[in-house]
Chains A and B, each alone.
Chain A
Amino acid sequence: MYNKGTIIPGLIIFVLIVMSPVLYNGLKAGSVPKPEPPPGGEKQCVLPVSEMRDKHMQLLNEWRDEVLRDDERVTVVADGKQYRKGLQLACMQCHTNKEKFCDSCHEYASVKPYCWDCHLTPAQQKAALKKETH
């Protein structure tokens, strides 16, 4: 073999890059997060759970378009109660702890929905209300 001095370091770099996920995780697979069930004791989501898990972002996108573009400000029924269609108005009424619910999954999957740039999380909302009543 010619040019051993560059070929061998080059191949070592290649192998390190291919192996990098193995080295990074250090053989610890970790566990999938368990999002906290709604603290209010509700039993059912707006759709079957498996569908919510896979498609809640699509549902939110549809709802956003329907509410804001088509002005379909309607109510949805979930777990026997009526909610106004929306992110803060529906989802966060049951899933009142964003940090322990939405974020637990999102951190694991490395997604950072930008929704909270404008929308208030239940915790922020509570804090804001407190300020106003003072």
Chain B
Amino acid sequence: MKYAFSFLVVIVLIVVAGLGSQIQGMQYVFGVALPYLAILVFAGGFIYRVVQWAKSPVPFPIQTTCGQAASLDFIKQNKLECPNTTSEVVARMILEIVTFRSLFRNTKSEIHEGPQLTYESSKWLWVFSLMFHYSFLLIIIRHMRLFLDPAPFWMAWIEFGDGIFQVGAPNAYITDATILMAIVYLFGRRIINRHVKYISLINDFFPLVLIFGIACTGILMRYFLRTDVDILAIKRLAVGLVTFSPVIGVKIGAIFYIHLFLVSTLLIYFPFSKLMHMGGVFLSPTRNLKNNSRAVRHINPWNPDIKPHSYAGYEDEFREFMVDAGIPVEKELPVEKG
């Protein structure tokens, strides 16, 4: 049901953009107004979320230690798995972000006859999510040719590498195939694997279906439905958007507006969704803290400022009442001068 609903939402979005963009005058809504709104919501929401996170104190050092911590000189520290200095943390973070090391540790559990519970390493999730993220990144970098005028010189290198198989014209891109394969895997995993299916929510399915829709419309536009897809006019619009002088000179096919509308939806949805892990990965306390809790005292930033209160001070404060109640005191009340 949850995934069926995600498909329904994306289909409705496609119909809205497909029909809406054909109404005279609405091209500027789908081609200019919504993209501007989307990028504002995206950037503003992203900053807001990060600031909210930065406002939450981290009461304990809760890094995950996956190796020997810094200790006595003759015990070898595992610098990457149990970082002790800022540079070691930076190294760990960079590797986490570019190679997804924590996902590499993914295991799968199974119950066999007996009953016996087994765990074994499972690298598929790691492989396919690397594939997904790098395809996505390359596609976005390649898209910059539509926004940058003149396109930077290195753009040709990426296009050459991505199209190295030189299949057909327009030249087929490797990343177009890999992003679809990866999305199909990531989606299939949530449906086929019973454990994962149980914990999957609509906000796990929806972004996958939405990105699938974006990739499919892009691929259809490039290789199949080229009618009225004038890349020069589209580039003029895209460059116009980033120079605040957008123009839609000629008729552009509905498929382009559908693609752009789905992207706008993604950008607007982004700050409110789990996709914020793009910023969140930098703020994971389990990764970005030093494991130096034996050397440096981590003080909870929200601790109230409690002043020490010695017994002598306590007695000074309550001596009269203590004497009244017959509690023995160390220092008697001063003798009243009668």
Contacts and interface: CB of A to CB of B under 8 A. Distances in A.
Contacts of B240: 29
Contacts of A58: 169-170, 226
Contacts of A7: 50-51, 54
Interface in A63-113: 105, 107-113
Interface in A1-37: 1-4, 7, 10-11, 14-15, 18, 21-22, 24-30, 32-33
B258 interface: no
Contact of B235 (A55, A61, A109, A114): A109
- Of the four ranges (under 10, 10 to 19, 20 to 34, 35 or more), the interface on chain A belongs to 35 or more
B235 A108 contact: yes
Given A18-B43, A25-B242, A110 B169 contact: no
Interface in B19-63: 39, 42-43, 46-47, 50-51, 54-58
Contacts, number: 109
A54 B47 contact: no
Contacts of A2: 54-58, 301
A114 B166 contact: yes
Residue of A1, A21, A61 contacting most chain B CB atoms (<10 Å): A21
B243 A11 contact: no
B156 A112 contact: yes
B320 interface: no
A113 B169 contact: yes
B159 A29 contact: no
Counting chain B residues whose Cβ lies within 8 A of the other chain, the interface size class is 35 or more
A50 B232 CA distance: 12
B144 interface: yes
Interface string B50-94: 110011111000000000000000000000000000000000000
Nearest to B168: A61
B5 interface: no
A87 B112 CA distance: 63
Interface string B230-274: 111101100110111100010000000000000000000000000
A60 interface: yes
Contacts of B151: 109-110
B191 to A, nearest CB: 34
B57 A14 contact: no
A117 to B, nearest CB: 9
A30 B229 CA distance: 20
B301 A57 contact: no
B160 A54 contact: no
A84 B282 CA distance: 60
B316 interface: no
Given A24-B148, A60-B169, A107-B150, A53 B230 contact: yes
A11 B156 CA distance: 30
29 contacts: A1-B55, A2-B55, A2-B57, A4-B54, A10-B50, A11-B50, A14-B43, A14-B50, A18-B39, A21-B147, A22-B242, A25-B147, A25-B149, A27-B243, A28-B243, A32-B232, A32-B233, A50-B228, A50-B230, A53-B230, A54-B226, A54-B228, A58-B169, A109-B232, A110-B145, A110-B155, A110-B156, A111-B159, A114-B166
